[in-house]
Structure 1
Amino acid sequence: MTQTGVRYDGDTWDLASSVGATATMVAAARAIASSGDKPLISDPYAEPLVRAVGVDFFTRLASGELKLEDLDAGASDSGATSGMARMTDNMAVRTRFFDDFFTSAGGGNSAPAAGGGNSAPDAGKAGIRQAVILASGLDARAYRLAWPAGTTVYEIDQPEVIAFKSQALAELGAEPTAERRAVACDLRFDWPAALKAAGFDPSQPTAWSAEGLLGYLPPEAQDKLLDTITELSAPGSRVAVESGPTGVGDADRDKVLARMQETAERWREHGFELDFADLVYIGERNEAGAYLAERGWRLGRRTIGELLADNGLPPLPEDDEVGNFSELQYVTGILE
């Protein structure tokens, strides 16, 4: 199965193509991370949602038919951080980070990470009852987290993605654990109007998440998104974002592209083709945390290395600096 096409203004996708396929890829990683004797996360909907999308490659991964060691076999030494096993670890700690963020924002107690560590500033009983998940993809938090009574969870994504997930979860007999309101709108369009039309109240504190999203936006679109989140947030609101490297020089850019091509080639050998380099925007951009801090958000940060250590997972290779991956940070903020 071949998915091709460079990003362009107005492009669209479903969960088997382009950017949408990365949502299915992440769900497959969550399914893997939810299996085993002592899984770090629990997402019972990840595997059936991947199966419903119908991409054989991801279905075999999520079900365990295709083993991580088979997929990563033959990777070069330079491919350490791009392998599926490494990505599964990254998705596990990322998922737990955002799970804990929403639990804390709602006033619950986040599960302590192995080795300690707290990702949020003044993490505690915030009591927020309005959550917005941007580019929700196959995220099933509205169904699997223990949301406090009275919580409304807004999920924003492309209309085709929202329709697919809503139908697939209904067919599974899944019931939301909060009031779920799906907002079918491309983030490049007037999503604030669509969000408000769905009942969103900007006068109330909100918990926002931008998970695995910013790298798929051009730099100026990232800034606009963070500006809009700030404009729609009442004092006491919270935000959690994944913030990647802010600048990649020409030499590192070539290394990043080579890494992506190597990963794509290994996947192609197993029957699925997706050119990652066509999907992301590599280059200079504002660091998301610093940008939010300038707009009144009080921040907490955890690096990817710290999250891996907190959760008892192997560290990044010390000599792996391709794409400045070690600079990947998970940022939380409270609007003062």
Structure 2
Amino acid sequence: MTTVTESLPAVSRTAVGVAAMRAYESNRPDRLFDDPYAAAFFEAGRSVLPPIGRDSAQAGLGELMYPQIVIRTRFFDDYLLQAGCAQVVLLAAGLDARAFRLAWPPGTRLFEIDLPEVLAFKDDVLATQDASPSCERVVVRADLREDWATALRASGFDPAVPTAWLIEGLLIYLSRKDAEGLLTTVGELSAPGSRVSFEHGTGAPDGLVSRAHATEDGESVTALWRGGLGSTAPEWLAAHGWQPSTVTRAEVAAGYGRPSDDNATADGFVTAVL
């Protein structure tokens, strides 16, 4: 197998760390999901991550982020399967393996959009696992900072069909202007009945973002964050024709029977319907 880990952009390298967390969760007897490919992604890409010792600050950042990563993975799994849309788009799909590990209804077409080098690494690893998608998987190599809509349409995306959009772990890495531009394009491509979901924080001092910034030596990750829409995402969506709803991570975790930390009420998810 030829991998391209060293060519992965800094933001995309964080997906390797997320894969490690998904692999760990998948091995728990009380796991909230099973991702059989996460460990392979981590092993193939671990060279791009900084060394992590048991007592290192990087380990501390991972410990902080783990509950959020696990809860959001399961929440977005459920969101996509319950959306009832035959067309699904994962923006900045990274090392997401939902096309392979979820039980999609017949006729589902799933588009994964990401940078060419990210998708090349992903497909290299999946090839070693003899992975077979459980839906029609369409890979779209595009930069979300450029005209990705044209590439998506050229790959067979139909804007007349209601779509379930997932923007997982992305908006915080974008400036407000870029986040607004991305969501504006999503709206332009969405038929009535389409849905979109992503993380949402209140901006509270005790929220996950603030706590991560305060984690010693966590700058390799937090320095990449640009804030996205911040706490105003529901208002922005409502002003642009969507009907948003929010839920806290604590509420979601309670529904899954998983204890959450004391600060989980400051963070959560937004889902909107057009």
- In structure 2, which of residues 232, 240, 247 is the aligned counterpart of residue 287 of structure 1? 232
In structure 1, the residue matched to 2:77 is 99
- Would you say 1:327 and 2:266 are equivalent positions? yes
- Cα distance in 2 for partners of 1:97, 1:289 equals 18
1:315, distance to aligned residue in structure 2 (A): 2.9
- In structure 2, which of residues 18, 27, 36 is the aligned counterpart of residue 35 of structure 1? 27
1:253, distance to aligned residue in structure 2 (A): 9.3
1:257 partner letter: H
- Cα distance in 2 for partners of 1:254, 1:193 equals 36
State the percentage of identical aligned residues: 42
TM-score w.r.t. the length of structure 2 is 0.87
Structural mapping, 1:206-217, within 5 Å: 206-217=163-174
- In structure 1, which of residues 132, 139, 145 is the aligned counterpart of residue 96 of structure 2? 139
1:165, distance to aligned residue in structure 2 (A): 0.7
1:228, distance to aligned residue in structure 2 (A): 1.0
In structure 1, the residue matched to 2:3 is none
- Cα distance in 2 for partners of 1:74, 1:256 equals 14
1:49-85 alpha-carbon deviations (Å, 9 max, x no partner): 1112242868x9xxxxx8xxx73x477xxx99x6433
Contact in 1 for aligned 2:175/2:228 (Cα 8 Å): no
Contact in 2 for aligned 1:23/1:137 (Cα 8 Å): yes
> Helix, strand or coil: the match of 2:110?
strand
Structural mapping, 1:55-66, within 5 Å: 55=47
- In structure 2, which of residues 152, 173, 194 is the aligned counterpart of residue 237 of structure 1? 194
* Pair 1:316–1:247, CA change in 2 (3 A): closer
1:39 partner letter: R
In structure 2, the residue matched to 1:313 is 258
* Pair 1:134–1:254, CA change in 2 (3 A): closer
- Would you say 1:227 and 2:172 are equivalent positions? no
2:246 partner letter: R
Structural mapping, 1:1-336, within 5 Å: 14-15=7-8, 18-55=10-47, 71=54, 73=55, 83-105=61-83, 126=84, 128-246=85-203, 257-259=213-215, 262-264=216-218, 275-282=220-227, 285=230, 287-317=232-262, 326-335=265-274
- Cα distance in 1 for partners of 2:245, 2:35 equals 26
Where does structure 1 lack aligned partners over 5 or more consecutive residues?
A: 1-12, 61-65, 106-125, 265-273, 319-324
TM-score w.r.t. the length of structure 1 is 0.72
Q: Over alpha carbons, which structure has the higher Rg?
A: 1
* Pair 1:228–1:247, CA change in 2 (3 A): farther
In structure 2, the residue matched to 1:271 is none
1:100 partner letter: D
- Cα distance in 2 for partners of 1:56, 1:227 equals 33
- Cα distance in 1 for partners of 2:183, 2:233 equals 8
RMSD over aligned Cα atoms: 2.9
